[in-house]
């Protein structure tokens, strides 16, 4: 290769790097650096306002062994797993319908589904308080129908209400990646399968499901990761039974003023989310491989 | 026939799904016009009192003004930053492209609370006073992935020979960007501005952690939620915000579709 | 060509992408006012060469001069060339007049002069009054004319055309071919056309360069290149060709006497780059230079064979005729002047050929 080729390649790469650098530097300063610092903090110790910078694992010991945190982690993971499974199961038929039967109105359908997602998160969560509350819509409806004689108290302020609210908040987000992967499937494959005598179930399990796996996987991740650390929903509709790890993180950064412990809880959350996500992806792949046989 | 009877349940399911999606949200505007303070059926009567009260509320108006300023700053900055990055990614090949893109898109794949607390930690460590400025700084990071998705799509549909034709006709690189690239991707830019503005307007968590004495609308609402008597006013405010979001997003969608049509028409002479 | 100084001089131009050689030591002259075509299959480097003439790509080594000035390192926006892109690249946010005026804007001609030149250019491509139309309201042929007008309005020394007709349907393509040729003759600008369509190149060009694998295989006039292809690859790319094995009987300067199978002994001119391998040579004859003889008709040079296959195309019939002593059957294109009723598979036919139509290939058969 002559020097000129290298010079040319260099300048092409250099131009790309120069162009992306403002954005990249910004993301480094406001995202990468904070995450690195929070990891560092998780190994330090704080007494009132002074921070001891020597390396220690005390925070992780606390985060992993204290029953309160262990319970919060388990509940957060459990809730986010349930929510992501529920959203994917609910979203798949919708994505399927839009992709295969949407016709010319595909974009309109997608728009209708994304609109509620992009309105205020806070307000959406609050609207479930109106539905599930003691004087709420559901209780009013059941009373009016005569199915119950006094309002059900247990609709709100527990893990179930958190799950329902989270599903409602995230289900639209799960539809999009599944829809995209269904759109990519060559329709002649399905037709060829049916031409060869496949029923609907067979073409679903043998062709469509495996081919839409990437979409299903990203739907899982896109729901699971943010829900583990959700703060607003458990705070508003969770009560004491529905508290999740985000509240503990917030308390340590706020009133409790124990930043290193808060940092350790955050890092542990990230690690847990990442491993749960990894396991999920693996399990999905294996499941589909099993179905395919 | 058997196949048909199997398929019919799909539209039914879809209907039920849409009810599930929209029903709770539509309760907000419904109860915001209800005379009763408690949000419960049966409805008591129609009133616009809560809306009138809302516009006399100086604290709320201050927060709304703050939200507007934050939204403008965030949407403009994140769109400009996303234009650079999206252009770099779609136009050039450079080392580290994947990790760089990954980092910029990472907020989509991180629990928001962690993004919020780690930013808080850094800002406090550096000794920056929490204010609307820190909210802006934080929300930009959060909006970037959305702006990027919109703009990458815009730049990818862009026929590179348009720029080459401009150069060939004697225009400079800068002139080409101004006279061809920008106008052609203008719909994507507008769409990115609208989407990031909407997100900033509704964003709560970062604003909650990173704001000082001055707050934005969602943080204001959060503070009001504790007071049952304030609920109807909050519902009125929420309905207004929701209407604003829906209008902005509809405009963004129309702009996006127009642009798509233009790209399609350009796609090929036989198309 | 009467001009002494060529309009374009390409000297030892190579273009490497990593280890891939898109162009390898290209040397080429194009005369002023010439309609020149670069013809070859996709990936042969013809588009890369055209883009280098436009300044949209730079050679790895070698030089390119246009109108006597070295412009190897001159950027696209500084060159006296303009291009018609394969996709036409009509600016979607501008109307037709604004598209055509795009390059003029930088010249600051004044509004009246600018409008005059835009009208003139639209007139030239037969789109008068289309100025206010938007790009997406135009048909394929109209878009192509706008692209032409936009380039011609700049009064370039060289107009570059990258597969300009490939996106059009057959009928429109033929129409545009005639128009393009007329246009070139009236404006007198040097045209360089890139195409993979041999008929287009033959119909339009003054000269054609056939390219394979980043190299130029032959440069000649359409007739010369069709009738006297120098290599088997060039011959094949331009149309059907029957290849016959031959043995070199005598050699006298550029002339070579070759004994062929069944086609007798012929004295042929050696093409440039001729290599004899062990006294063997390959001779070609185009299918339309063979003719089926009717009953009672006689010819000086005759062959007898049996029809192995046939395909009827309306105006012509393609035959495949098996001949004793020839390994491969001969392809023949017969004009259906009297119909093709008797040309049935299995029928015995007599063929006439003209030994003048035999051409010696530079590369002998590998067998």
For chain C, domains (ranges, CATH) are 8-231 (3.40.50.300), 233-360 (2.40.50.140)
| DSSP at C160 | E
Contact list in C for residue B268 (CB cut-off 8 A) is: 87, 140, 167
Query: Cβ of A103 under 8 Å from any chain B Cβ?
Result: no
Tokens coding B17: 């799904």
Pairing of strands C215-220, C61-66: unpaired
- Which domain CATH number covers A282? 1.10.3720.10
State the pTM of this model.
Answer: 0.79
- pLDDT at residue A213 greater than cutoff 90: no
In angstroms, what CA-CA distances link B242 with A190, B26, B239, C234? Answer: 41, 10, 5, 69
| Cα–Cα distance measured from residue A205 to residue C191, given in angstroms and rounded to the nearest whole number | 58
Classify residue A6: in a domain, yes or no: no
Place of tokens 């041999």: C198
Give the start-to-end residue ranges of the domains of chain B: 66-266
Put residue C89 in one of left, alpha, beta given phi > 0 → left and psi -120 to 50 → alpha: left
In the prediction, which pLDDT does A59 show?
86
Q: Are A241 and A228 in contact (CB under 8 A)?
A: no
* Contact residues, C window 130-149, toward B, CB-based 8 Å cutoff: 135-136, 139-141, 143-144
| Secondary-structure breakdown of chain C: helix, strand, coil percentages, each rounded to the nearest 5 | 25, 35, 40
> Rounded CA gap, A71 and A90, in Å?
28
| C73 neighbourhood in chain A, CB within 8 Å | none
Mean pLDDT of B155-180: 89
pLDDT confidence of residue A36: 93
Identify the pLDDT of residue B256: 74
Taking CA atoms, A42 is separated from A63, A191, A276, B139, in Å, by: 10, 56, 21, 24
β-pairing verdict for C330-335 and C290-293: unpaired
3-state SS assignment for residue A82:
helix
* pLDDT of res. C55: 92
Q: With respect to residue A26, please indicate whether it lies within any of the assigned structural domains.
A: no
A5–C58 CB contact, under 8 Å: no
Helix pair angle (B217-224, A121-132), 10° resolution: 20
Cα C139 from chain centre? 26
Determine the number of helices (DSSP H) and then strands (DSSP E) in chain B: 13, 0
| pLDDT given at position B218 | 92
Q: Which distant-in-sequence residues (6+ apart) come within 8 Å of C193 by Cβ?
A: C35, C36, C37, C38, C161, C164, C200, C201, C204, C205
CA-based R_g, chain C, Å? 24
Shortest Cα distance from C48 to chain B (angstroms)?
14
Q: Under 8 Å CB-to-CB from C12, ≥6 apart: which residues?
A: C25, C26, C27, C61, C62, C63
User: Are B234 and B225 within 8 A, CB to CB?
Assistant: yes
Q: Which residues of A63-83 are buried (b: 16+ CB within 10 A; e: fewer)?
A: beeeeebeebbebbbebbbbb
Q: Are strands C280-285 and C8-17 parallel, antiparallel or unpaired?
A: unpaired
In a domain? residue A28: no
Nearest CA in chain B to C152: B169
CB A249 within 8 A of CB A233: no
Q: How many domains does chain A have?
A: 1
CB-CB under 8 Å, A1 with C58: no
| Beta pairing class for C190-195 and C158-162 | parallel
Tokens 């993180």 sit at which residue? A249
Alpha carbons within 13 angstroms on the beta-carbon side of residue C367 total 7
Band the pLDDT of A287: cuts 50, 70, 90.
confident
Per-residue pLDDT of chain C (367 residues; tens, 9 = 90+): 445 689 999 999 999 988 888 999 999 999 999 999 999 999 899 999 999 999 998 899 999 999 989 988 888 889 999 999 998 999 988 999 999 999 998 888 888 999 999 999 999 888 888 888 887 788 888 999 999 999 999 999 999 999 988 878 888 888 888 889 999 998 889 999 999 999 999 999 999 999 999 999 999 999 999 999 999 999 999 999 999 888 888 888 888 899 888 888 888 888 888 877 778 888 999 999 998 988 888 888 888 999 999 998 888 899 999 998 888 899 999 888 877 777 888 889 999 998 889 999 988 765 4
Nearest to C93 among B167, B184, B261 (CB): B184
**pLDDT the model gives residue B115:** 92
Q: Is A60 within a domain?
A: yes
Identify the helix (H) or strand (E) that includes residue B153. helix B132-156
CA distances from A242 to A230, B111, B125, C241, C307 (A): 11, 18, 32, 83, 88
- Interface residue of A3, A4, A10 to substitute, partner C, most C CBs within 10 Å: A4
- Give the mean model confidence (pLDDT) for residues B149-177: 89
Output the pLDDT for position A26: 94
Closest-approach residue (CA) in chain B for A115? B246
Identify the DSSP state of C88. -
- In chain A, residues with a C-beta closer than 8 Å to the C-beta of B198 are 118
pLDDT confidence of residue C209: 96
pLDDT digits (tens, 9 = 90+) for A60-77: 888 888 899 999 999 999
Assign C19 to helix, strand or coil: coil
- Has residue A2 got a pLDDT over 90? no
Choose from A105, A126, A220 for mutation: most chain B CBs within 10 A. Answer: A126
C-alpha span between C44 and C51 (Å, rounded): 13
Cα–Cα distances in angstroms (integers) from residue B108 to residues A169, A222, B18, B104, B143, in the given order: 15, 8, 25, 9, 9
Residue B66: predicted pLDDT: 95
Rounded average pLDDT over A120-140: 83
Residues with Cβ within 8 Å of A164's Cβ and at least 6 positions away in sequence, in order, are: A128, A132
Beta bridge partners of A181: none
SS3 B253: helix
* Domain contains A243: yes
Show the tokens assigned to C336: 């259906």
Q: Which of 47-86 (A) contact B at CB < 8 A?
A: none
CA distance C23 to C98: 36
What 3-state class would DSSP assign to C206? Answer: coil
In-domain check, residue A74: yes
Tell me if C135 and B266 make a contact (CB, 8 A cut-off). Answer: yes
Domain that holds residue A155: 42-292
* A130 falls within a domain: yes
A278 interfacial to chain B (CB closer than 8 Å): no
Flag whether residue B93 sits within 8 Å of chain C, measured between CB atoms: no
- C contact test, residue of B93, B168, B255, B258 with most C CBs within 10 A: B168
Local confidence band at A1 (pLDDT 50, 70, 90 cut-offs): very low
Cα distance between residue C146 and residue C140, in whole Å = 10
Token pair of A73 as six digits: 């982690």
Does residue A15 carry a pLDDT above 80?
Answer: yes
Residue C219 near chain B (CB below 8 Å): no
Q: What is the ipTM of this complex?
A: 0.83
A23 in a structural domain: no
Considering only CB atoms, which chain B residues are within 8 Å of A172? 21
Task: Tell me which residue has tokens 């609910």.
Answer: A90
**pLDDT recorded at residue B54:** 87
- Distances in Å between the Cα of C299 and the Cα atoms of B24, C100, C279, C331, C352 are 95, 59, 31, 19, 6
Those residues with Cβ within 8 angstroms of residue A165's Cβ, 6 or more apart along the chain or in another chain: A124, A125, A128, A233, A236, A237
A:6-65 residues touching chain C, CB 8 A cutoff:
8
Residue A7: per-residue pLDDT: 56
> Contact at 8 Å (CB) between C232 and C363?
yes
Q: Is 1.10.3720.10 the CATH classification of the domain at B66-266?
A: yes
């Amino acid at each position: 290769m002559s020097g000129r080729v290298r010079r040319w390649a260099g300048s092409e790469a250099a131009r790309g790097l120069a162009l992306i650098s403002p954005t990249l530097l910004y993301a480094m300063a406001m995202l990468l650096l904070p995450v690195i610092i929070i990891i560092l903090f998780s190994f330090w110790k704080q007494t009132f306002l002074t921070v001891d910078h020597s390396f220690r694992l005390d925070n992780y010991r606390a985060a992993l062994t204290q029953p309160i945190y262990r319970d919060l982690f388990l509940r957060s993971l459990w809730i986010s797993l349930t929510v992501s499974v529920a959203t994917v199961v609910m979203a798949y038929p919708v994505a399927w319908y839009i992709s295969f039967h949407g016709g010319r109105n595909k974009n309109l359908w997608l728009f209708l589904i994304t609109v509620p997602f992009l309105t205020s998160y806070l307000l959406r969560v609050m609207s479930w308080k109106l539905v599930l509350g003691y004087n709420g819509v559901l209780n009013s409806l059941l009373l009016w129908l005569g199915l119950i004689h006094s309002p059900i108290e247990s609709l709100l302020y527990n893990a179930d209400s958190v799950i329902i609210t989270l599903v409602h908040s995230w289900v639209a987000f799960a539809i999009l990646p599944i829809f995209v992967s269904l759109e990519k499937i060559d329709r002649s494959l399905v037709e060829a399968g049916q031409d060869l005598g496949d029923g609907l179930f067979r073409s679903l399990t043998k062709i469509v499901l495996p081919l839409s796996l990437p979409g299903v996987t990203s739907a899982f991740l896109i729901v699971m990761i943010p829900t583990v650390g959700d703060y607003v929903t458990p705070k508003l509709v969770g009560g004491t039974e529905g508290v999740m790890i985000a509240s503990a993180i917030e308390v340590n950064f706020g009133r409790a003023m124990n930043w290193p412990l808060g940092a350790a809880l955050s890092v542990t959350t990230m690690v847990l989310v990442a491993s749960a996500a990894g396991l999920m992806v693996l399990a999905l792949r294996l499941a589909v491989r099993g179905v395919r046989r | 026939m058997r196949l048909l009877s199997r398929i019919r349940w799909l539209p039914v399911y879809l209907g039920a799904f849409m009810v599930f999606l929209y029903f709770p949200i539509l309760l907000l505007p419904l109860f915001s016009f209800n005379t009763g303070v408690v949000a419960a059926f049966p409805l008591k009567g129609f009133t616009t009192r809560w809306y009138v009260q809302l516009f006399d509320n100086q604290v709320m108006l201050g927060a709304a003004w703050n939200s507007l300023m934050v939204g403008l700053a965030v949407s403009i900055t994140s769109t400009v930053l996303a234009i650079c990055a999206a252009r770099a990614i779609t136009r050039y090949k450079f080392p580290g492209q994947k990790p760089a893109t990954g980092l910029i898109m990472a907020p989509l794949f991180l629990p928001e609370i962690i993004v919020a607390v780690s930013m808080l930690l850094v800002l406090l460590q550096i000794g920056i006073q929490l204010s609307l400025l820190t909210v802006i700084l934080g929300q930009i990071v959060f909006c970037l992935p959305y702006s990027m998705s919109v703009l990458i799509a815009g730049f990818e549909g862009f026929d590179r020979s348009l720029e080459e034709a401009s150069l060939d006709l004697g225009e400079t690189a800068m002139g080409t960007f101004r006279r061809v690239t920008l106008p052609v991707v203008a719909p994507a830019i507008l769409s990115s501005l609208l989407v990031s503005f909407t997100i900033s307007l509704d964003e709560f968590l970062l604003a909650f952690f990173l704001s000082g004495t001055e707050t934005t609308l969602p943080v204001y609402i959060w503070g009001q939620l504790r007071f049952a008597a304030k609920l109807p006013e909050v519902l009125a405010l929420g309905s207004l915000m929701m209407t604003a979001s829906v209008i902005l997003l509809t405009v963004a969608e129309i702009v996006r579709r127009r642009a798509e049509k233009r790209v399609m028409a350009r796609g090929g002479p036989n198309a | 060509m009467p001009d002494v100084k060529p309009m374009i001089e390409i000297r030892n131009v190579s273009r490497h992408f990593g280890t891939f050689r898109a162009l390898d030591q290209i040397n080429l002259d194009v005369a002023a006012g010439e309609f020149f075509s670069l013809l070859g299959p996709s990936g042969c480097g013809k588009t890369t060469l055209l883009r280098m003439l436009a300044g949209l790509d730079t050679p790895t080594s070698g030089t390119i001069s246009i109108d006597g000035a070295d412009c190897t390192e001159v950027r696209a926006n500084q060159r006296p060339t303009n291009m018609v892109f394969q996709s036409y690249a009509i600016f979607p946010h501008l109307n037709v007049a604004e598209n055509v005026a795009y390059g003029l804007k930088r010249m600051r001609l004044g509004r009246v002069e600018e409008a005059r030149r835009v009208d003139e250019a639209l007139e030239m491509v037969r789109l008068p009054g289309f100025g206010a139309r938007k790009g997406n309201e135009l048909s394929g042929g109209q878009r192509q004319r706008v692209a032409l007008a936009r380039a011609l309005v700049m009064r370039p020394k060289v107009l570059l055309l990258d597969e300009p007709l490939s996106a059009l349907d057959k009928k429109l393509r033929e129409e545009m071919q005639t128009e393009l040729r007329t246009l070139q003759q009236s404006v007198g600008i040097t045209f360089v056309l890139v195409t993979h369509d041999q008929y287009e190149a033959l119909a339009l060009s003054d000269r054609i360069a056939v390219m394979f694998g980043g190299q130029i295989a032959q440069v000649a006039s359409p007739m010369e290149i069709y009738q006297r292809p120098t290599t088997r690859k060039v011959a094949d790319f331009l149309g059907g060709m029957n290849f016959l094995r031959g043995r070199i009987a005598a050699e006298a300067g550029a002339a070579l006497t070759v004994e062929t199978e069944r086609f007798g002994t012929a004295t042929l001119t050696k093409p440039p780059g001729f290599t004899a391998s062990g006294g063997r040579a390959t001779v070609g004859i185009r299918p339309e230079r063979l003719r089926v003889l009717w009953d009672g008709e006689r010819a000086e040079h005759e062959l007898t064979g049996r029809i192995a296959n046939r395909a009827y195309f309306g105006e012509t019939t393609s035959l495949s005729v098996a001949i004793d002593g020839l390994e491969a059957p001969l392809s023949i294109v017969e004009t259906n002047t009297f119909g093709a009723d008797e040309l049935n598979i299995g029928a015995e036919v007599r063929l006439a050929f003209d030994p003048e139509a035999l051409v010696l290939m530079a590369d002998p058969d590998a067998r």
